C-alpha cells in the first residue's frame, strides 16, 4: 500500500471529523486471545480429521500461537483448556510461553470429555460426580494461580435430551453451589466468565441456555463473575449486539468467544459469514467506551476478546490469522463511525440519517489504515502473505500426522 493511499484515507477521514490518531491508538490497544484448541486437530461428530503438522502437545500449540502473535502483534495470550492442555508442570508451560513472547490467558475447565459426565457435571444428580466436577473447577483456579492468569472461562455441556429426564430446578441449585465454591476460591484479581449456549450437545434443555441465565448466575455470585458471549451460541436471528449492549450497561460483559456461523455453533473463521454483525457489536462497545459515565467507559475497556474456533478443513495457523485480521478490520471500520453524527440523528428521530451514519463507516476500505498501523507496530503489513512466505507451515509438517485433538 502506497503512502499516497494512506494519505488520501487520512484526509478523507479528517474531513468527516474522525480523529485518526485516536483510531490508530485504539487499534494498537486491541488484543485478541487465540485458543490452544484452535491449533489442534478437530472435526464434527462424524469425524475428526487428522492434518499433517498439527501440534503434538500443549508446548507445540504455544509455538504455533506465537507465530500468530509474531505476525499480527495483537495476540499476546493463548487460552488453555484442561485437560486438553494438561501438563505435569504448569510453571514450565508458563515459562515456555514467555520464552516465545506470549502468555497463558483464560483457563477453561473441561467438564464434557469424560463418561462420568454423561448425565451432567456440576448438575449431575449423583453427588460424587458433582464433587468430582467441582474439584476440577478448583484445580483450574489453582492452575490459573500458577500460570498467572486472571480469567477462568466456564462452559457447561450440562443439559438433558427429553422432557422429564431431569429435575431442572435441582440442577439450577447444584450449579450455583458448585460455582459458589469455585468463586470463593478465586483470588481478588480473578474473573469468572460464564458462557451460555442454547443447545448442543443437549437437545431438550441446557442448564445455562441463554444470556439471561448466565447473567442471573453471575449476579448471584458477585462482581467477579461476568457473562461470556460466544457469537455462535444463539438462535438464528438473535440481536447479539443488543445483548452485548445490555450486559455492558449492567457492567457484566466479561468477554467474547468470536467465531462465525451460518447454522448452529459452527465455529468458523470469524467474520466469514457475518462481518456486519461483528461491526455492529464493535459499534456498541465503542459507543459505550465514549459514554459520559466513567463506569460504562471502564466496562467497555475491560472486555476479554477471545477467538473460539475449530478448523476442520483449513490449515490451522492461516485460518487463525484470517480470524484475527477480520476482527481488526471490523473494529477499524467501527472506529470510523462518527458518534456525534449518530447522536444528532437520534435526537432528531432521523431514522435514515442514523442508519446511514452507522452503515457508511462499514463501507470504507480500511486496508491503508491497517497497513499503516502494522508498520508502526513493526509487524508485516500483510501478515497472511508473510506467513505463507515464512516456510513455517512446511516446517511443522515434520511433526507428521496424529497430533493433539483440540
Ligand atoms: C462450546 O461450544 C464452546 O463454545 C466452549 O467455549 C468450549 O470451551 C469450546 O466451545 C470448546 O471447543
Ligand atoms: Mn465458546
Ligand atoms: Mn461453542
Which of 38, 84, 257 has the most ligand 1 atoms within 8 A of CB, as the residue to mutate? 257
Best CA proximity match to 252, nearest among 286, 226, 223, 282: 226
Nine cell digits for residue 286: 465503542
| 103 CA → ligand 1 middle, Å | 20
Cα angle 92, 94, 100 (rounded to 5 degrees) comes to 105
Nearest-atom index, ligand 1, CA of 232: 4
Alpha-carbon distance of 375 to 368, in angstroms, equals: 11
Q: What is the predicted pLDDT for the residue at 3?
A: 87
Nearby residues for ligand 2 (ion, Cβ within 5 Å): 230, 257, 308
**CA dihedral of 120, 125, 130, 133, whole degrees rounded to 10:** -10
Name the closest ligand to CA 37. 1
Name the closest ligand to CA 112. 1
**pLDDT in 10s for each residue of the chain, 406 residues:** 568 999 999 999 999 999 999 999 999 999 999 999 999 999 998 999 999 999 999 999 999 999 999 999 999 999 999 999 999 999 999 999 999 999 999 999 999 999 999 999 999 999 999 999 999 999 999 999 999 999 999 999 999 999 999 999 999 999 999 999 999 999 999 999 999 999 999 999 999 999 999 999 999 999 999 999 999 999 999 999 999 999 999 999 999 999 999 999 999 999 999 999 999 999 999 999 999 999 999 999 999 999 999 989 999 999 999 999 999 999 999 999 999 999 999 999 999 999 999 999 999 999 999 999 999 999 999 999 999 999 999 999 999 999 998 8
Cα angle 199, 141, 297 (rounded to 5 degrees) comes to 75
Alpha-carbon distance of 228 to 268, in angstroms, equals: 18
Alpha-carbon distance of 198 to 237, in angstroms, equals: 13
Beta bridge partners of 256: 229, 305
ipTM entry: 0.99
Q: Which domains does the chain have, with CATH numbers?
A: 3-110+231-399 (3.20.20.150)
Nearby residues for ligand 3 (ion, Cβ within 5 Å): 265
Nine cell digits for residue 99: 520464552
Q: What is the predicted pLDDT for the residue at 2?
A: 65
Alpha-carbon distance of 301 to 315, in angstroms, equals: 32
Nearest CA to ligand 1 atom 6: 155
Nearest-atom index, ligand 1, CA of 195: 6
Q: What is the predicted pLDDT for the residue at 406?
A: 86
* DSSP output for 279-292: HHHHHHHHHHHT-S
Beta bridge partners of 152: 107, 192
How does DSSP classify residue 234? S
Nearest CA to ligand 1 atom 9: 308
Nearest CA to ligand 1 atom 10: 308
- Residue 27: φ, ψ to 5°: -65, -35
Amino acid at each position: 500500500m502506497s503512502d499516497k493511499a494512506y494519505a488520501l484515507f487520512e484526509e478523507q477521514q479528517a474531513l468527516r471529523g474522525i480523529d485518526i490518531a485516536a483510531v490508530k491508538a485504539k487499534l494498537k490497544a486491541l488484543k485478541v486471545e487465540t485458543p490452544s484448541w484452535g491449533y489442534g486437530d478437530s472435526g464434527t461428530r462424524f469425524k475428526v480429521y487428522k492434518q499433517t503438522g498439527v501440534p503434538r502437545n500443549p508446548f507445540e500449540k504455544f509455538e504455533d500461537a506465537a507465530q500468530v502473535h509474531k505476525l499480527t502483534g495483537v495476540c499476546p495470550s493463548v487460552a488453555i483448556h484442561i485437560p486438553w492442555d494438561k501438563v505435569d508442570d504448569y510453571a514450565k508451560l508458563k515459562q515456555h510461553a514467555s520464552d516465545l513472547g506470549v502468555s497463558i490467558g483464560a483457563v477453561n475447565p473441561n467438564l464434557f470429555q469424560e463418561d462420568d459426565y454423561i448425565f451432567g457435571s456440576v448438575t449431575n444428580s449423583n453427588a460424587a460426580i458433582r464433587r468430582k466436577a467441582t474439584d476440577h473447577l478448583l484445580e483450574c483456579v489453582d492452575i490459573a494461580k500458577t500460570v498467572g492468569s486472571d480469567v477462568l472461562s466456564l462452559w457447561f455441556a450440562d443439559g438433558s435430551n427429553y422432557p422429564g429426564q431431569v429435575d431442572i430446578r435441582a440442577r439450577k441449585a447444584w450449579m450455583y453451589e458448585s460455582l459458589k465454591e469455585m468463586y470463593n476460591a478465586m483470588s481478588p484479581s480473578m474473573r469468572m466468565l460464564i458462557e451460555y449456549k442454547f443447545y448442543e450437545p443437549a437437545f431438550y434443555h441446557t442448564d445455562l441456555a441463554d444470556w439471561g441465565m448466565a447473567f442471573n448466575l453471575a449476579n448471584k455470585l458477585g462482581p467477579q463473575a461476568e457473562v461470556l458471549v460466544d457469537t455462535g451460541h444463539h438462535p438464528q436471528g438473535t440481536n447479539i449486539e443488543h445483548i452485548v449492549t445490555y450486559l455492558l450497561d449492567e457492567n457484566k460483559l466479561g468477554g467474547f468467544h468470536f467465531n462465525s456461523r451460518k447454522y448452529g455453533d459452527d465455529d468458523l473463521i470469524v467474520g466469514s459469514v457475518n462481518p456486519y454483525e461483528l461491526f455492529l457489536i464493535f459499534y456498541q462497545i465503542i459507543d459505550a467506551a465514549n459514554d459520559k459515565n466513567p463506569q460504562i467507559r471502564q466496562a467497555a475497556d475491560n472486555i476479554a476478546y477471545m477467538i473460539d474456533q475449530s478448523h476442520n478443513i483449513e490449515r490451522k495457523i492461516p485460518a487463525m490469522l484470517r480470524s484475527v485480521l477480520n476482527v481488526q478490520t471490523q473494529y477499524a471500520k467501527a472506529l470510523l463511525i462518527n458518534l456525534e453524527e449518530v447522536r444528532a440523528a437520534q435526537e432528531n428521530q432521523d431514522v435514515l440519517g442514523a442508519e446511514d451514519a452507522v452503515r457508511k463507516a462499514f463501507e470504507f476500505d480500511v486496508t491503508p489504515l491497517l497497513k499503516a498501523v502494522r508498520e508502526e507496530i513493526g509487524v508485516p503489513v500483510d501478515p497472511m502473505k508473510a506467513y505463507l512466505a515464512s516456510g513455517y507451515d512446511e516446517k511443522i509438517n515434520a511433526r507428521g500426522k496424529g497430533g493433539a485433538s483440540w
